[in-house]
Structure 1
Amino acid sequence: MRVELSDEARRYIGRFDELTGVAPTDCLVESDRLVFVVPAGEMASAIGQGGETVAEAERRLGKSIELVEDADTAEAFVASTLAPAAVNAVTISEQNDRVAYVEVPEADRGVAIGADGANIETARRLAERHYDVDDVQLT
């Protein structure tokens, strides 16, 4: 699926690439944070040793940064969007709507949902943009 990027998102992607050497494939621009989707296998480079690289990018871009690792399947991608919450399984329903049902341990539900629902909402937006998943539900 082809992701449409705003000019602002493109600028942030270019700047992040300059700062880290990792070229994200997507960027969600929110008021207080940026969410970058980085290619599979490049998460360690984007974070840097001890988180130094991403911390410097946050300082220079003036926003909190969250990273999501891209994946080959919708199920793996949805699990990645909810990290660091532990995800036991993801099932995609193919009925009227495509819904990702995510099995998360009770102890990690708060992490998966995030403050004011920010994490689950980010997972929903990214899953829809990349895999045409209409909703993400925790089970």
Structure 2
Amino acid sequence: MTTRLKVIEKGGFLACVEAISFLDKLKGKQFDDEKLSQIQDMVLRGVAKEVVIDEEGVLRIKGWVCVPRVDDLTHTILAEAHSSRYSIHPGATKMYRDPRKHYWWSRMKHDIVDFVAQRPNCQQVKYEHQRPRRTLQ
């Protein structure tokens, strides 16, 4: 979201708020990524299968939005998937499944595992899913 404030004559203010959707932000940065630019060239030549540029100009692989590895966009997606009210700090496997429904980027699983490993809360709270081997004393 962009906000501009301008002082006009007679001491008045003019404020302008411009909201840009996350998808528009991704679309604007997709072809700044070298790998996605190569994929775009393959689509335009008709070589790439399962890859399309949709009617909005967004590059998609198998329906997933391709996320460029620029401007920390992948970190924004991971932070939202990890800390949103509805996910409540999932582990790496669950966290991989949720963004994978909508997004794709190279080394996605590796980035998610690293992201979860860097969170101290995720490392402290571990639940043992196995039964004790013998009776407890």
The question of a shared fold, defined as TM-score above 0.5 by the shorter chain, is answered with no
Bigger Cα Rg? 2
Higher relative contact order (CA 8 A, sep 6+): 1
